[in-house]
Chain A
């Protein structure tokens, strides 16, 4: 039998920005204060009364070709057969090179355990046949989780029927968190670029 390939699809059209995924993650994974494994990025576009908020739930992409696993000097970060990128907390030496290498800023130092942690798609729940805490708690069912290698799974059907995006596809990491209807300026990390060059200034040195 082929290996499982766990992935996540987040339908932004359904997201109401309630932060329930962040709270569920904090509780399930015992994420300490000051750090986050899952969070909601909120961007406001336009000026009142023509304004709207755009949401982007953010978590570890559990990449297909994870740069963190490639750069980890002790193989503490490794890719499981089912695609989840895990961290062996007894092997991690806390060199933080994975945090420096990750293009998505989803890794953090656990200030209580002094090791690097991140989202593992709740691997302990997945191993027990459950879905991750954020998926379970999402009140609008905006997050779909499952095995991408199984064509009959819900996620395979959602992926086949919808146009999806991933964060920073140019990084060649193969993110496994897919977004439906995500806004470009919300996905972008460079705030400067968002202003569409309405005011040319001296520092715009673009050739």
Chain B
């Protein structure tokens, strides 16, 4: 080479601190926040045909959020010291917000679910409206966990919390579509033909909503990558890593093509009236979002720091 070779002969890199437990936790809180928002929309609109979906999602939201923090505790090097989070809190750390949000949100979710199931409309609506900011912050703060770890250029962007929220909506709606479709197929036999047609229409509409949210998600990812590629050298490295480097198969192949483009074609294209296509699209979307969590959490730590 003209300017001569430069080789790193020796340096130390320590193991990746955050492993896929964290990605899985992000995935589960995302599903929970997404299904809670759907549930509240169904409750607020109050139409009779939305009731089943409102009920399914009211259970899903707290159930998923009880699973999610198990990943967090499993990830700790000292799991039995998890109570230090509450006793020795530090208000400048996003994890501290998280530990309180993760306690408050399932409690509220369970009370909300009881209200929905006992048909008490007014308290359910009030709790729903109060719960949406809580659901948004319980998932939004996970975006801040990554964004505020300033060492990692793939995470340290203002777009991160929004990307997490939007992808949470996408995967949450996907899960609701899958479960609503299972109910429609096997557990909805007593309903009249008219009701079944109405339920099917509702599921298809939900899937379309999912496709439009996917478009917003794709736009956010596009703007994030574009800025990464024009920013400082670390950010450029991170952008290349996921576009053409080791994480390209997962990011471009699974997250963008399998998890976004194909589902969008399935839901909005000629197969848009087919229940099978919509369910396949929802499964693909969830695979894509899971891949996104992997690329973000693991890929973000792959750019060397020293």
Contact = CB atoms under 8 A, between A and B. Distances in A.
Interface stretch (B76-84, B174-182, B259-267, B281-289): B76-84
B2 interface: yes
Contacts of A99: 14, 17
Contact of A73 (B77, B96, B152, B239): B96
A70 B2 CA distance: 45
Contacts of A190: 233-234, 237, 303-304
A175 to B, nearest CB: 13
A124 interface: no
Interface in A94-121: 94-97, 99-109, 114-116
A115 B150 contact: no
A8 B92 CA distance: 27
A203 to B, nearest CB: 5
A41 B9 CA distance: 8
Contact of A192 (B10, B96, B237, B305): B237
Contact of A67 (B77, B150, B243): B150
B150 A74 contact: no
B151 A101 contact: yes
B85 A105 contact: no
Main secondary structure on B side of the interface with A: loop
A36 B12 contact: yes
B229 A205 contact: yes
Nearest to A183: B6
A191 B9 CA distance: 12
A46 B2 CA distance: 10
B90 A72 contact: yes
Interface string B8-23: 1111111101100000
Interface residues of B, number: 56
B149 interface: yes
B48 interface: no
B230 A207 contact: yes
Contact of A189 (B88, B95, B305): B305
A206 interface: yes
Contact of B88 (A75, A107, A196, A203): A75
Interface residues of A, number: 61
Contacts of A158: none
A204 B233 CA distance: 12
A58 interface: yes
B90 A58 contact: no
A18 interface: no
B7 interface: yes
B244 A70 contact: no
Contacts of A76: 84, 88
B151 A171 contact: yes
Contacts of B208: none
Contacts of B243: 205
Given A39-B12, A189-B306, A95 B90 contact: no
Contacts of A170: 232
Contacts of A45: 4-6
A42 interface: yes
Contact of A72 (B2, B93, B99): B93
Given A70-B93, A75-B90, A207-B229, A105 B14 contact: yes
Interface of A: 35-36, 39-47, 50, 53, 58, 67, 70-76, 91-97, 99-109, 114-116, 170-171, 185, 188-196, 198-199, 203, 205-207
25 contacts: A35-B14, A43-B9, A58-B12, A67-B151, A70-B93, A74-B89, A76-B84, A93-B85, A94-B76, A94-B77, A99-B14, A101-B150, A101-B151, A105-B13, A107-B17, A108-B14, A171-B150, A171-B151, A185-B6, A189-B305, A190-B233, A194-B6, A195-B3, A206-B229, A206-B236
Given A67-B150, A92-B81, 5 more contacts: A45-B4, A97-B145, A103-B305, A109-B14, A192-B240
